[in-house]
Amino acid sequence: MLSPKEFPGKKLFSLLKDSGYEGFCLAEIPESPEPERFLRYYKALFDACSK
């Protein structure tokens, strides 16, 4: 899995934050056998990238 430093969308999150965007972001990702764990990971990744 990617670390927050490797995540390619960091620039996108910076632009969204700077513009005041408060909507949703979607990810096209494969199904996971552990969806709750997977979503917690992506939430943490998105939170780290949006700081």
Residue-wise pLDDT for 2-51, tens only, equals: 665 666 677 787 888 889 988 887 777 888 899 999 889 888 887 887 77
User: Two tokens at 42?
Assistant: 């992506």
Tell me what pLDDT residue 3 has: 66
Does pTM surpass 0.75?
no
Interatomic CA distance for residues 41 and 4, integer angstroms: 11
Tell me what pLDDT residue 4 has: 59
Tell me what pLDDT residue 42 has: 83
**Per-domain boundaries in the chain:** 10-49
Residue 42 main-chain phi, psi, to 5 deg: -65, -35
Closest among 35, 15, 33 to 25, alpha carbons compared: 15
